[in-house]
Structure 1
């Protein structure tokens, strides 16, 4: 543990000499141990090594003390550490000038031990020459201090565990400083290598172990620890590897994790990084892939990794997708070939083909490697409880694989419970799941609950909210503040909808909340206003038929033109029945209008378009019979409100004549 041993005498002698002058000197008549060079073999080197600085000081102080007759005792703030050193420099039976034994000062302070230990481990080597009397002079002293020997280096007491730990910490700091110096020489900035060193404590320990082991080789048997550490760091190529990884967009935390995970096999990092680049993993994701792939990926051969990639390519994952899939789910790289096949078969067993499988992995790579097989089976079983069969679940996961990344306990069960609270049946939930599976992936408290509360606030009936969500599940995925609220404000301020009717409009037409204001709603409102419809009247029309604002103007314009020019209908008919725009011009409006003209009858738009073909045919027959009876003077009693309305229209022959005349029939 103690490195750079031969050069520590300079530091120890300086400490001894400095502490000696901090003491009040004894009387001149008594010989001080430090003043005698013949009593201890280590005293002469210490005194002689510093004679050019202090060789006149000690005698002068002693003479001054002797002349004044000062009998003051030693100062005690350094007494314990000084007494211990004096004990090793003096015979065991020697007393101080006052007749006191130094054993009273024997306990060594902890900070003194740590200081001596740090000196022994951190001190620089003093230049030596053959036969130098300073070589290794401080080592026995420091070792004896740590062992707490009571005689001159004769005991073999066990080293204090706490001091061993402290020695290890100091040695670790020394190794880190040597690594930093190598990084500094590699042109790295101080902030960068300081941050990097803080991320690689395991690698620093690995270097320490290797450097100690290098002592066994003959060429390093006489080298200091620092020299061996520098040689090892240079030869392992860690600095060059860090630079290469940094150029490949890896951050220093990622580089630190990789260096520690490689367990010293640094070449593996470069080999795996090059392989990831060959399958189109982008530079900024290489670090993510390597750090998340698992520790065993460093033990995998390139042939094993190629086999995994070939299997995925053979099952629908395109080659140019592979980098995206691996970078988003690097856990795949840690699978054995058998485990990868079993996970793929899990999806194939639900009727999913290769194309769906490949597309699913591209949409959500985590579905293959993020969960255990047990968790995957649990989620499929839960989805089947909504009434879906195996193939339905397969199609659902192919369309929205993100479902597999959701938690049953934390995400699905609270959502289902909330839907039951809103009155949504199990069939409604199945509709939501199949139409908008994303709903089962979003946060309930943060996303769905505030929207439901907003619907209540604008006047939507409580029992209508559940029906709205089941009919239009996309509403739960819209932003409340960027989509839903702005549309509601537009309807109230620009479309003429009253505050009383806004809840009804939203309940009847929740699809309006998904329309663009600038590209859809505003254009439609302006079109209807251009027809001569006032804003309050338009608001009433929207309240009766909210979908009025969802149609394209290119669809609305031909229908309105036919209504006014061919059917000779007033604008009031359109205001009364705005659903007119919901029927097909070619398949419903024109054919039925021709039938009415042929039979010289006229219906309101509601009765003309809303009935089925059979009902419309029966209505035509009844109207023709009523006209025949009317013309023959036979009294006819209408049996329904619709027939009564038809009779009122037929009371005027002028209307029928005008229809025939204007249509050229």
Structure 2
């Protein structure tokens, strides 16, 4: 006998069938609700830039700006100051980082004291460290010293600087002032005071340059007074080298020419003439002719005039010989 299955109430069966029918309808509704919710959710913020990347970009921008400024500096040095940038940078590496305003300040100060742009070019080409030095601590004290204690007239200041740009690169308390005091003791005062033509002596070292040269002149038999008079009459002697100029010429004067060093008192400019180019050739011509003349007459005249005088002296000597033997 077959076993009877339990019966399911009709209301429950209808609910089960309805729920199976509603599933396909609920899926689209759920998807739409999800999209709606996604639209309502704000987007996530972008991640902050990497600090390393930011620093790299900033460094690249700074490098580009620095390159532009450096090129501008090179153009200013070459075209406006007339300074060779390569040489200036080699002698003064600080120029690479110095602002162009410091270069302009140094140049403007020289122009304010009467120098021309071409003069500034000469000064900075020889002493490029002045371009990066504080002008109020480097250039200005030297310029004021030349105008003040040295008493070089303002119109002559440019001439003094052009003859010796090193004047503007020398320390006033350590170099210029001590040397000025020494030169005044030698006799460079009053009518013989330091001028634009002799201001270059101020850059000489008293101990290493000036005193050894004065000592050498005294070793020739000159007194202190005569030595001082000699350099006052011919200040350029103090710029000559003892070994390359003074000693060879003094030895030739006394040993080869047979003259006394006392003659230098009358003609101290002897040391200014070339030993090989003028002194030796003219002494040889006089010696070959058996003649002699004072140092000043022997050296100051041109070659043509010297030959004319030499011919005149030969004729006079011949006339004297003829008269004595007639």
| TM-score, normalized by the shorter chain, greater than 0.5 | yes
Q: Which has the higher contact order (CA 8 A, sep 6+)?
A: 2
- Is the contact between residue 250 and residue 261 of structure 2 (CA under 8 Å) also seen in structure 1? no
Given that 1:379 and 1:408 are in contact with CA atoms closer than 8 Å, whether structure 2 keeps it comes out as: yes
Give the match for residue 31 of structure 2: none
The correspondence for 1:422, drawn from 113, 125, 128, is: 113
2:249 matched to 1:559? yes
Q: Structure 1 stretches of 5 or more lacking a match?
A: 1-294, 301-333, 344-370, 634-651, 654-665
CA deviations over 1:73-128 (Å, ceiling 9, x no partner): xxxxxxxxxxxxxxxxxxxxxxxxxxxxxxxxxxxxxxxxxxxxxxxxxxxxxxxx
* 1:460 and 2:152 correspond: yes
1:564 Cα deviation (Å)? 2.2
Report what 1:595 is aligned to: 285
Distance in 2, matches of 1:425 and 1:406, equals 23
User: Residues 631 and 478 from structure 1, CA distance in 2 versus in 1: closer, same or farther, beyond 3 angstroms?
Assistant: closer
Q: How does 1:300-339 map to 2 (within 5 A)?
A: none
1:535 aligns with 2:224: yes
Q: Which residue among 484, 498, 513 is the counterpart of 2:189?
A: 498
Task: Measure, in 2, the Cα distance between the counterparts of 1:297 and 1:509.
Answer: 63
2:313 is the alignment partner of 1:627? yes
Whole-angstrom distance in 1 between the partners of 2:126 and 2:176: 20
2:61 is aligned with 1:372: no
* TM alignment of 1:174-189, pairs within 5 A: none
| 1:384 aligned onto 2:75 | no
Query: Mapping of 1:202-241 within 5 angstroms?
Result: none
Q: CA deviation at 1:472?
A: 1.7
Residue aligning to 2:21? none
Q: Can you list the C-alpha shifts for 1:585-639, whole angstroms capped at 9, x where unaligned?
A: 344422331123223444443454456xxx31x1233113323553576xxxxxx
Q: Mind listing any 5+ residue stretches in structure 2 that lack a counterpart?
A: 1-50, 322-326
**Can you list the C-alpha shifts for 1:29-67, whole angstroms capped at 9, x where unaligned?**
xxxxxxxxxxxxxxxxxxxxxxxxxxxxxxxxxxxxxxx
Does structure 2 retain, via aligned residues, the 8 Å contact 1:524–1:549?
A: yes
TM-score, length of structure 2 as denominator length: 0.68
Return the alpha-carbon distance in structure 2 between the equivalents of residues 480 and 297 of structure 1. Answer: 52
Q: What does 1:25-36 align with in structure 2 at a 5 Å threshold?
A: none
Structure 1 SS opposite 2:137: helix
Kept in 1: contact 2:298–2:306 (CA 8 A) = no
Shift in CA distance, 385/632, structure 1 to aligned 2, threshold 3 Å: same
1:547 to 236, 248, 256: 236
- Report how far residue 584 of structure 1 moved: 4.1
- Counterpart in the other structure of 2:128: 437
Structure 2 match to 1:278: none
Give the direction of change, closer, same or farther, for the CA distance of 1:581–1:632 in structure 2 (3 Å limit).
closer
Kept in 2, the 8 Å contact 1:496–1:538? The answer is: no
SS at structure 2 position matched to 1:581: helix
Q: In the aligned structure 2, how far is the partner of 1:480 from the partner of 1:418?
A: 18
Q: Paired residue for 1:404, among 71, 75, 96? A: 96
Q: 1:474 to 1:418 in 2, by over 3 A?
A: same
- Give 3-state SS (helix, strand or coil) of 1:503's partner: coil
| 1:486–1:591 distance in 2 versus 1, CA, 3 Å | same
User: 2:202, 2:90 → 1: CA distance?
Assistant: 28
Contact 2:91/2:129 (CA < 8 Å) preserved in 1?
A: no
- Within a 5 Å distance, the mapping from 1:94-133 to structure 2 comes to none
What is the root-mean-square deviation of aligned Cα atoms in Å?
3.4
1:578 aligned to 238, 260, 268, which one? 268
Q: Distance in 2 between matches of 1:530 and 1:429?
A: 42
How far the C-alpha of 1:297 sits from its partner, in A, is: 10
Q: Deviations over 1:449-491 (max 9, x none)?
A: 2222222222323222212222322221211111111111112
Q: What residue in structure 2 maps to residue 658 of structure 1?
A: none
Instruction: Using structure 1 for the length normalisation, give the TM-score.
Output: 0.36
